[in-house]
Chains A and B, each alone.
Chain A
Amino acid sequence: MSPLPEANDFFGWVAWILEEYSGMLLAGAWKTMVIAVIATAIGCLIGFAVGIVQTIPANRRENPVRWFIVGLAKLIMNIYVEVFRGTPMMVQAAFIYYGAAMLFNLHMETFRAALLIVSINTGAYMAETVRGGILSIDPGQTEGAMAIGMNHMQTMTNVILPQALRNIMPQIGNNLIINIKDTCVLSIIGVVELFYNVKSITGATYAFFPAYTIAMVLYFILTFTCSRILRAMEDKMAGPDSYDLAMTDMLLGEGTMRIKPNRAETNADYRAHKEHGRDIGSREGGTD
């Protein structure tokens, strides 16, 4: 171990902590990222499933049995969403972790418990986001899909969700960033992530300010990197602005060119026409 810095030597302490505990900090940051990314992904899947169920149309008069089943499913989903949005994740973590141990004698590994808790919490938020995303799509899209005979599931997976997904990408990014930060509440059930390790370091060194400064910087690096990556993904999903005309006739096979349309008049042609009083057609016609 290198010698301890003076008590008020801030940069000395930062350098010392980085030197002594870099492995612990990186391991914590890695664990935080793994939990945040996997739980956000699972949360999105839960959100999509709940969102699809919540938008199933059901008419009581037409099909009462279906109406009852769909209605019951929607009720359960609503309770799930309201309960997990309406309570703190820190309390949920303790409730589920200790509850499983006491009631079902199920002693979860903390990492798995962390994934479970963050996933269902994200799912509750994503369900509302997905529902909003689905509602934001023009009803004409659904009618177009129904008119060619697609059922609700086909309409959703082929037409509505791909468009809704694009619209809610910013919100998914938001959730990922929130999850990166909020994994720190999992320290209550002893998940060894970034915040837990920083707390351990302060416990050993009493260098609170230098340690938490490092934590601030690390969390910011994680979230900022993610937000940039997600922005790039959004741009990619928007697709190219231009498209290629298919000039070969695909029915006749390669090599048979479609007849090109007449050379288009350009604005330059129009200007020339105005300046010289020439007829636009005369350039090609030759006469007149």
Chain B
Amino acid sequence: MAEVIIQVQHLSKTFGTNTVLRDMDFTVSEGDVTCIIGSSGSGKSTLLRCINLLERPTTGEILFHGVPINAKGSDANAYRAKVGMVFQSFNLFNNMTVLENCMVGPIKVLKKDPEQVRQTALRFLEKVGMAPYINAKPRQLSGGMKQRVAIARALTMEPEVLLFDEPTSALDPQMVGEVLTVMRQLASEGLTMIVVTHEMAFARDVSSHVVYMSDGVICEEGTSQQIFENPQNLRTREFLSRFTNR
């Protein structure tokens, strides 16, 4: 059994009187590719943002290697440095080139040697196919290119887990393909990933674990085979029928 990295226990999140997540329990082990699927507004992104502490959970705990990270006095920044995040809207730093985007985190946050970081960054940029564009600024790149740079930026931090928040939702079909190819490759190399996505084919083929969420609760979870071929819950079946009949 692989080591458990992230454990979400009894997590709830409310915005004012609006409850978005209700008493979630959820575990991620090393090497898992967990896909979180569900209709818009079901709380998928909020869950992911809570895991990275971009949103503070209202109640409940998040354990990272068994240590609670949303307790008072714990260092959220040190934790975030170990858990990478790729956003729907890329969020590349507009004032930096592609290479600087990848290098700034390891140098400023992890205080690593710049020359070593440069090598790491170039290696990952090569991997996502963006090495020729190291001198470009984000505004000069297409959406798919930006997202691949964002992935390289997250990887250069050498995180233990990489979170993807609908990484292809802002892209056209061709760009979706190029980003998913990169993600498939990372999954096959054993990177631990949590992916919120509407790309059902990707979820079916790549994930080791699928979570179907609806109305702030986990309706059903299991292996990709269990969820996609033999869903037990009525709502899961209904949601997936729209995908399979497409």
Residues of A within 8 A of B (CB): 59, 62-63, 138, 140-141, 143-151, 154, 158-159, 162-163, 166, 239, 243-247, 249-251, 258
Contact = CB atoms under 8 A, between A and B. Distances in A.
Residue from A148, A166, A239, A251 having most chain B Cβ neighbours under 10 A: A148
Interface residues of B, number: 42
Contacts of B122: 250-251
B85 interface: yes
Given A148-B105, A148-B153, A251-B126, A143 B54 contact: yes
Contacts of A145: 93
Contacts of B198: none
B132 A247 contact: yes
A149 to B, nearest CB: 3
Contact of B72 (A62, A154, A249): A62
Given A140-B87, A149-B105, A245 B132 contact: yes
B17 interface: no
Given A158-B104, A246-B132, A251-B123, A149 B77 contact: yes
A159 B108 CA distance: 12
B72 A63 contact: yes
A244 B133 CA distance: 8
Interface stretch (B20-28, B30-38, B134-142, B237-245): B134-142
Please classify the interface of chain A as helix (H, G, I), strand (E, B), loop, or mixed, using the class held by over half of its residues.
Answer: loop
Given A154-B108, A251-B122, A246 B135 contact: yes
A66 to B, nearest CB: 11
Given A158-B104, A239-B137, A148 B154 contact: yes
Interface string B96-110: 010000001100111
Given A239-B137, A245-B132, A149 B157 contact: yes
13 contacts: A59-B56, A62-B56, A140-B87, A143-B87, A144-B91, A147-B54, A147-B80, A147-B84, A149-B79, A159-B93, A163-B94, A246-B134, A247-B132
Contacts of B123: 251
Contact of A250 (B54, B81, B131): B131
Interface string B104-148: 110011100000000100110010000111111100100000000
A161 to B, nearest CB: 9
Given A143-B87, A244-B135, 20 more contacts: A143-B91, A147-B54, A147-B80, A148-B80, A148-B84, A148-B109, A149-B77, A149-B78, A149-B110, A150-B77, A150-B105, A154-B108, A158-B104, A159-B95, A243-B135, A243-B137, A246-B134, A250-B131, A251-B119, A251-B126
A144 to B, nearest CB: 3
Contacts of B87: 140, 143-144, 147
A141 B94 contact: yes
Given A62-B56, A63-B72, A148 B81 contact: yes
B224 interface: no
B48 to A, nearest CB: 11
Contacts of B132: 245-247, 258
Contacts of A251: 119, 122-123, 126
Contacts of B140: 243
Interface string B32-57: 00000000000000000000101010
Contacts of A151: 77
Nearest to B56: A62
Contacts of B119: 251
B36 to A, nearest CB: 17
Contacts of B109: 148-150, 154
Contact of B80 (A146, A244, A246): A146
A195 B103 CA distance: 52
Contacts of A143: 54, 87, 91
B133 A144 contact: no
Contacts of B153: 148
Interface in B148-185: 150, 153-154, 157
A158 B94 CA distance: 11
B89 interface: yes
B92 interface: yes
B93 A245 contact: no
Contact of B54 (A146, A158, A162): A146
Interface in B63-90: 72, 77-82, 84-85, 87, 89-90
A140 B91 contact: yes
Nearest to B131: A246
A141 B93 contact: yes
A195 to B, nearest CB: 40
Contacts of B72: 62-63
A260 B81 CA distance: 36
